[in-house]
A and B are shown apart, each in its own frame.
Chain A
Amino acid sequence: MGNSRTMKFTNAINEALSIAMEADPGVIVYGLGTPDPKGIFGTTLGLQERFGPDRVFDMPTAENALTGVAIGAALGGLRPVMSHQRLDFFLLAMDQLVNNAAKWNYMFGGNNPVPITIRLIIGRGWGQGPTHSQSLQSWFAHIPGLKVVCPSSAKDAKELLLASIFDPNPVVFLEHRWLHNSVSDVPAGDVRGVLGKAHKLTEGDDVTVIGYSVLIPEALRAINYLKENHNINAELIDLKTISPLDWDTIFTSVKKTGRILAMDTSHEQCSVASEVISRVSRDCWSSLKAAPQLLALPNCPTPTSHELTKDYYFDASDIAKSIMQLMKHQTKDFAHLKSPGAHDVPGTWFNGPF
C-alpha cells in the first residue's frame, strides 16, 4: 500500500492483473491476443512471461464457449479473467453470460458463486462504426446477478479491477478505448476498491451531474468552466459501478440540488441514464426544481463515416449547455470547450486503425 505514482490507464490494468495473479494462484488470464506482441493495447504485456503459459494464454475465436469454460473453471476453483478487444465481439457470449454466469448461484439455491471477470473494451472514433463501437453496458446492467463496472481513471481501473477479480460474482468490466492513454495517480500495492459505490467528484448545490467512464473528464471540463465563469456549482457523481447502482449517493445529491443531468455513452433508449432519471423522478419527485436532462447517443447505429459521427457524440460544450438549460440560464456557445483536433480521435496518441 502507500505510494502513489502517475500511471497510464493501460498500465494500471496491467498492474492490477499482475497483483491479482501474485495474490491468488487461481487467477488465470486469457482472451484473444492476450499474450500477443500488442497485449490487448498493452494491458496484458509481460504477463505470460511472468506467470507462464498455464495461467496466461490465447484462445480460439470462440467467445461463447470460452465464456462457458470460464464459468466452469470458476466453479471448479479458479478465478478466470477474460479480455475482449471490443464489447461487440463478446455479444456472441451473451448466452453463457446471461443464462449461466448471471444466475448459476441463484438458480441452484445459492452457495454456487461464479467468480469470473470479463474485460470488454468500448471503441469509438476512426470509423469503428456499427460493429466496433457499441456501448451496450445497459444490457449487462439489466441482468440480475451481474456486476457491471465502468472505471473513469487509471486509479479506478486498478482498484476496481482488483475488486472485480476478487468479487465472488461475475463482473463485466468495461474499459473505454479513449481512456486507455489517460493518466492519474495510482496507489501501489494490492488496493481493492469497492464495487457498487459511486464517488462524488465535485461539490455543489446547483445541479447533480451523473456520469461514468469516458464522460467524467468531459463533464469535469464543463463543470470547472461553469464554476469559474458562471458561478454554477455542479455536483459530479461518477457512478463507477452501474450495477448495482449506488442509489443513496444519487438521491442524496439530487435532494440537495433539485436538478439532475444524467449522461450516458450508449443510445438513449433503455440506457443507464434513463434508468437513473426514472428512479430519481419517482424517489426524489418533490425535490425536483426542473425537468431532468439527459445526454446520450441517438437511437441509431453508429455510422462509420467520420462526417456522420461529428454530432453523434456529445462533449464538454454540450454538457455545459445542458447544465445552463437546467439552471434556466441563457445558453451560450461553448465551442471553446471542445477538445482541439479531429473529433474522431481521443488525442494525438491515436491515429487508427483500431
Chain B
Amino acid sequence: MNTLQKKLLYSMKKIRQVELAIAAKYSEQQMRCPVHLSIGQEAVAAAVGACLEKTDSIVSGHRAHAHYLGVNGSLKGMIAEIYGKVTGCSKGKGGSMHLIDKSVGFMGSTAIVGGTIPVGVGFGLAIKKLKQQHVACVFLGDGAIEEGAFYESANFAALHKLPVLFICENNEFSVYSPLEVRQPKQRLISEMVAGMGIESAQYDGNDVELIHQVTTAAVQKIKAGQGPQFLEFATWRWLEHCGPNEDDDLDYRCQKSNSKWRDRDPVQIFEKKLMDQKLVSESEIKDLHNSIDIEIKAAFEFALTSAFPTQEDLFEGIYG
C-alpha cells in the first residue's frame, strides 16, 4: 500500500469501528444525547479528509462524527463529548451534534439543518480576504440543499469566487423522507448547482479512491482561484437516522436498495480491492483493526474516567 492507501484504509476503518462502538454502547444509557451515525458513509469523510489540511476550515451538520474523524479530530475529545464530560471537545456543552477541533481545522458542526453552510462560506470569505492558500469545506446532505440558506450561500460563493468546497453526501433520505417527496425527480442536485454557476459533478460515494482523486482535483482548482467547487456523492446510511439501531423493518426504504447498498460496503470494497491487488494481507487488515480497537478502547476509558462539568461551568462561555 502507498501512504495514501494506508491513510484511507485507516481512516475508513476507524470511522466504522468508532461508530459501531458507539452503537454497541448506546443502550447503556450513558451517552445521553442524540447520535446520528455515519455507518455506510465512511468513504466520503475519509477521502475528503485526506485532501484537507489543518489550515483549512471545515464545517458540518448533525451527522458529523465521520467528518470530524476524517480530518483526524481528537477521538478522545469526541467520545468524552458524547458522554457529556468536561474533557469533551465542547466541554460537554454541545454533545454529539456540536463537535469542534480547531487544531485540525474542524471549525464546528451544528444541528440545525443548513446552519453551517453560510458559516463555511464565511470561512471562505476570510481566506480570500486574508489572501491565504486554504480552502473552506462545507459538508452537507441532500436535505440541507433544500434550505434557503444553501441557495443564498452558494450564490454568494459563486459571485465572489470564494475558495469553498461543498461536499454533498446524497443518501437519498432526510430522516424517513425520500428524495422524491422533497425534490423534483429528474433533477440532479449537481446539475442544479451547476446552473447556479458553481463547477459541479456527481460521483459514487462509496469508492474511496475515486472520491479522493476528484476531491484533490477540486481542491487544486479552488487554490488556483477558480472559485467554489461542488461535489455530490451518492451513498447510503445503514442505520436509523438518529440512534444506534437498524430500522429497515419500518420499510421506508425499499429492501432492494438496502441490500444493494450493503453489498456495496465502502470499507469492504476497499479492503477487497487492496487484497486482490496483493497490497495488503488479511492478517495485516486484522492487525490494523485491532490497533484501531485499542485506540477506541483508550478513548472510551478516557471518557468514562473523565469528570463531568460542574455547576460553575454552566455559566462559563456565554460571552467570549
Say yes or no: is A106 at the interface (Cβ < 8 Å to chain B).
no
A126 at interface by CB-CB < 8 Å: yes
Chain B residues with Cβ below 8 Å from A305 are 84-85, 88, 92-93, 95, 308-309
Q: Report chain A residues within 8 Å CB of B148.
A: 62, 64-65, 92
Please name the 5 residue pairs, one residue from A and one from B, whose CB atoms are nearest each other, closest first: A127-B33, A305-B84, A304-B95, A305-B92, A307-B308
B276 within 8 A of A: no
Provide the bound-state CA to CA distance between A344 and B183, in Å.
37
- Does B311 belong to the interface (CB within 8 Å)? yes
Contact present for A301 and B318 (CB under 8 Å): yes
Q: Which residues of B contact A299 (CB under 8 A)?
A: 318
- Residue from A63, A88, A351, A353 within 8 A of B35 (CB atoms): A353
B51-59, B174-182, B228-236, B259-267: which lies at the interface:
B174-182
Given A61-B113, A62-B146, A62-B147, are A353 and B243 neighbors across the interface (CB < 8 Å)? yes
Residue picked from A61, A92, A301, A312, most chain B C-beta under 10 Å: A61
Tell me the smallest distance from the CB of A134 to a CB of chain B, in Å.
11
Question: DSSP class of B's interface residues: helix, strand, loop or mixed?
Answer: loop
Q: Which residues of B contact A304 (CB under 8 A)?
A: 33, 84, 90, 92-95, 97-98
- The answer to whether B176 touches A33, judged by C-beta atoms less than 8 angstroms apart, is yes
Instruction: Give the number of A-B contacts (CB < 8 Å).
Output: 139
- Which residues from A are CB-within-8-Å of B85? 305
Q: How far is the CA of A58 from the CA of B174 in the complex (A)?
A: 11
- Cβ contact within 8 Å between B33 and A36: no
* Residue B225 CB within 8 A of the other chain: no
- The answer to whether B250 and A37 have CB atoms under 8 Å apart is yes
Residues of A within 8 A of B114 (CB): 61, 92
B314 at the A interface (CB under 8 A): yes
How many A residues are at the interface, by size bracket? Answer: 35 or more
Q: Which residues between 83 and 118 of chain A lie within 8 Å of chain B, taking CB atoms?
A: 88-89, 91-92
**CB-based nearest B residue for A353:** B34
Does B143 interact with chain A (Cβ within 8 Å)?
A: yes
Q: Is the CB of B243 within 8 A of A307?
A: no
Minimum Cβ distance to chain B for residue A283 (Å): 33
Asked if A192 is at the interface of the complex by the 8 Å CB criterion, the answer is no
What sequence of 0s and 1s flags, for each residue 1-40 of chain B, a beta carbon within 8 Å of any chain A beta carbon?
A: 0000000000000000000000000000100111100000
Which of B242-289 touch A at CB < 8 Å?
242-243, 250-252
Residues B84 and A306 in contact, CB atoms below 8 Å apart: yes
B residues neighboring A (CB under 8 Å): 29, 32-35, 84-85, 88, 90, 92-98, 110-115, 143-144, 146-149, 174-177, 181-183, 242-243, 250-252, 308-311, 313-315, 318
Interchain CB contact under 8 A, A352 and B93: no
List 18 interface pairs A-B (beta carbons < 8 Å), by A numbering. A38-B176, A59-B181, A127-B96, A131-B112, A300-B314, A300-B318, A301-B318, A303-B93, A305-B84, A307-B84, A307-B308, A308-B93, A308-B308, A308-B314, A312-B314, A352-B33, A353-B34, A353-B35
Interface bits A53-67 vs B (CB < 8 Å: 1, else 0):
000011111111100
* Contact of A88 with B176 in the complex, beta carbons under 8 Å: no
The 8 Å CB contact of B34, one of A130, A308, A354, is A354
Min distance, Cβ B108 to any Cβ of chain A, angstroms: 12
When the two chains form their complex, are residues A37 and B252 in contact, meaning their CB atoms are under 8 A apart? yes
Within 8 A of B (CB), among A265-299: 298-299
A353 near B177 with CB under 8 A, answer no
Since A38-B176, A131-B98 are in contact, a sample of 8 more A-B pairs with Cβ atoms closer than 8 Å, ordered by chain A residue number, is A37-B176, A61-B113, A92-B112, A131-B112, A304-B94, A304-B95, A307-B308, A352-B32
Also in contact, A129 and B112, with CB within 8 A (given A60-B183, A354-B242): no
A residues neighboring B (CB under 8 Å): 32-33, 36-38, 57-65, 88-89, 91-92, 126-132, 298-301, 303-308, 311-312, 344, 351-354
**Contact across chains for B95 and A127 when beta carbons are under 8 A apart:** yes
| A311 and B311 contact, Cβ closer than 8 Å, known pairs A38-B176, A61-B113, A353-B33 | yes
Cα distance A126–B35 when bound, in Å? 11
Max chain B Cβ within 10 angstroms of own Cβ: one of A63, A129, A301, A304:
A304
In whole angstroms, what is the CA distance A331 to B88 when docked?
A: 38
A59 to B85, CA, bound (A): 37
Task: For A300, list chain B residues within 8 Å (CB).
Answer: 314-315, 318
Chain A residues within an 8 Å CB radius of B313: 308
Chain B residue nearest to A132 in the complex (CB) = B111
Q: Which of A33, A37, A299, A306 has the most CB of B within 10 A?
A: A306
Assess the A308–B112 pair: CB atoms within 8 A: no
Contacts of B177 in A (CB 8 A): 32-33, 36, 58
CA of A129 to CA of B29, assembled, Å: 16
Minimal beta-carbon separation of A62 from chain B (angstroms): 5
Given that A60-B146, A89-B113 are contacting pairs, would A129 and B176 also be in contact in the complex, using a CB cutoff of 8 Å? Answer: no
Chain B residues with CB under 8 A of A298: 314-315
Contact A89 B112 (CB under 8 A): yes
Least CB distance from A305 to B in Å reads: 3
